[in-house]
Amino acid sequence: MQRISPALAVALVCTIAGGLVAAVTAHAPTRSASWASAYLVLVGGVATLGLAMGRGILSPDRVPGGRLTGELATWLAGNALVVIGTLAELTWLVDVGGALLVAALALVALGVRGGRGPGWLQGLFAALVAVLLVSIPVGLFLARLRG
């Protein structure tokens, strides 16, 4: 688990940040604040946790640390661009972020190929990746409607 601990820390921080955004804006909620809170918790927190746990459990025994760092950096950059682009109403930035998220998912999915773990867990991980892959273009479409 030590090799995925940075991603687990990110998931925790995003979940806490989402909760804080919700708490701070509860007295006068806005669409942007509600969206940011949900995104931080669901994508930054829950999805990151699921991807990290899957990567940690299902990966082959030998994974270069640089590869894990690159996967996490790509995922974080994509999420940051989506959040910034959405809040600043810069659709092109949301698009770049979405492309980075797809790239990160591809890297993570390739990283567990030939790995270990029970079939049901591999299926659950594949389902998480599939849901995220479907959600990204939906989110990009919604950003265009909003922008």
pLDDT at 4: 87
Give the tens place of pLDDT for each residue, 80-104. 999 999 999 999 999 999 999 999 9
Query: Which of the four pLDDT bands, split at 50, 70 and 90, describes residue 143?
Result: confident
Give the tens place of pLDDT for each residue, 6-57. 999 999 999 999 999 999 999 999 999 999 999 999 999 999 999 999 998 9
Cβ atoms 105, 132 nearer than 8 A: yes
Specify the DSSP class assigned to residue 45: I
- Backbone CA torsion sign across 89, 11, 7, 50: negative
pTM, entire model? 0.92
CA distance 136 to 119: 26
User: Which position has the higher pLDDT, 146 or 138?
Assistant: 138
Q: Which residue has the tokens 């479409």?
A: 141
Other CB atoms within 10 Å distance of the CB of residue 145: 7
- Backbone CA torsion sign across 109, 113, 115, 120: positive
Query: Which of the four pLDDT bands, split at 50, 70 and 90, describes residue 3?
Result: confident
Query: Which of the four pLDDT bands, split at 50, 70 and 90, describes residue 2?
Result: low
Amino acid at 127: A
Cβ atoms 10, 72 nearer than 8 A: yes
Gyration radius (Cα) of the chain, Å: 16
Secondary structure (3-state) at 53: helix
CA distance 18 to 123: 28
